[in-house]
Structure 1
Amino acid sequence: MIVSVRKIAQRFKLILLFVALTVCLYQLLALAQPWIKPVDRYREPTGRAVKVFRDEAVREEQLTMGERLKRFYWYGQ
């Protein structure tokens, strides 16, 4: 079996280039992370919007299986 040092060097250069580009892309995404971060879903709404919350008076543990299924189909959740 013949081992070519030139081919090994070329493959090493390719792997090194791949790792360097991967690190550069990671750093670029880390810099852009605050810009692409999702908006806080639980902030106070502005304008005429109304914040909706769950009614804690009826707990899901107290519902029967039929009631839970009916609510699933009614609300689509």
Structure 2
Amino acid sequence: MTSEQPEQDSRSFMHYAALKTAIVRGETQLVKELLGNQSMQALEKGYLLDLAKLNNNGTIIALLEAVPVTA
């Protein structure tokens, strides 16, 4: 493990937290920017999709469904 690992994990966690907040608030453009061309794990994607479905935001749901899943 390198000294950069904790900083990278912290950024990843903050990015995920920002994504969750944007989904809950219905901030479609910010969700699109935060997703970028990234992939995510199936569990993360499922959780974020559940959040979007609770808000019934079809645009955000479609954005999340298009995200590729990593192993």
- The alignment's TM-score, normalised by the length of structure 2, stands at 0.37
**Greater strand share, structure number:** 2
When the two structures are superposed, what TM-score results if normalisation uses the length of structure 1? 0.34
Q: Which of 1 and 2 has higher RCO (CA within 8 Å, sep 6+)?
A: 2
Higher radius of gyration, 1 or 2: 1
